[in-house]
Amino acid sequence: MLISVLTGFAAGAVHVVSGADHMVAMAPSAVQKPRLALMDGLGWGVGHSAGVLILSLLGILAKDFINIELMSSYAEFLVGISLLIVGLLAIRTSLRVNIHIHEHMHGESKPHKHFHFHSFGKRIHRSHKHAATGLGVLHGFAGASHLVAIIPALALPLVGAILYLFAYLLGSVFAMGCVVLGISFAANKANKMFYPFLMRSIGGLSIVTGIFWLQKTSIFTF
């Protein structure tokens, strides 16, 4: 049973970090305060896990009634669209950042200065706090290759299969949480003057990835 749990956890974690679309989609959310980045990362992980689980159940229980590959192709197309949107929003955010210098004295003989920035439109961000979860669900549906995740479970006893799937989903959540938290700490340590450039670069990468995703999707063949 322990082997099933460890294998499932590792498979879920590797799947998340090896997906370029996963990393690019969550990069803009990661470049914020660690607590907010972690919340978005965990939200994406939960959504992705839910999408994979639903897709897997459909593949097992309703494979004779539902064209899983076609449904997954549509989901992949929507992933491409979402990457374009994420990229454009990241670029818009970079253009709405107000960076300035604060001068402070904390009992020292000389004042010290540091960069400070404000990002306009935080209300908009709060109003879409569940966007990361929805994006995760979409990614979970995209790619019939996700069904590969349940193949080991099919060869296990019922209890072992349940533990494997649960560990797989937990590994997905844990991996994305760690990734965005690491990016957030690194971004917050960097010079704030580079924040707009970083967001524009991430936005551009997301747009390029989205275009590639739309080009590779098979939706137009149906």
Tens of pLDDT, residues 67-94: 767 777 777 788 888 888 888 887 887 7
Between the CA atoms of 79, 8, 145 and 13, what dihedral angle is there, to the nearest 10 degrees? Answer: 40
Between 103 and 150, residue with greater pLDDT: 150
pLDDT higher for 108 or 23?
23
pLDDT band at 202 (very low <50, low <70, confident <90, very high): confident
Check whether 117 has a pLDDT greater than 60: no
CB atoms under 10 Å from CB of 54, counted, come to: 13
For 62, list phi and psi in degrees, rounded to 5: -130, 25
Q: What is the pTM of this model?
A: 0.71
Rounded Cα–Cα distance for residues 207 and 201 (Å): 10
> For the chain, what percent of residues have pLDDT higher than 70?
72
Q: Which of 105-109, 184-188, 204-208 has the highest mean pLDDT?
A: 204-208
Structure tokens at 73: 């192709």
115 pLDDT band, cuts 50/70/90, is very low
Residue 174 has a pLDDT of: 92
Alpha helices in 142-222 (DSSP H): 151-154, 158-189, 195-216
Write down the pLDDT at residue 81: 87
Q: What is the predicted pLDDT for the residue at 131?
A: 80
159 versus 221: the higher-pLDDT residue is: 159
User: Taking residues 166-184, what's their average pLDDT?
Assistant: 89
User: Where do the H-state alpha helices sit in the chain?
Assistant: 2-17, 20-30, 34-61, 68-95, 122-127, 131-141, 151-154, 158-189, 195-216
Mean pLDDT, to the nearest integer, of 130-158? 75
Locate 93 and state its tokens: 């955010």
pLDDT value at residue 145: 61
Please check the confidence at residue 216 and state whether its pLDDT lies above 50: yes
Tell which residue, 99, 104, 90, has the closest CA to residue 191. Answer: 99
* pLDDT for position 124: 42
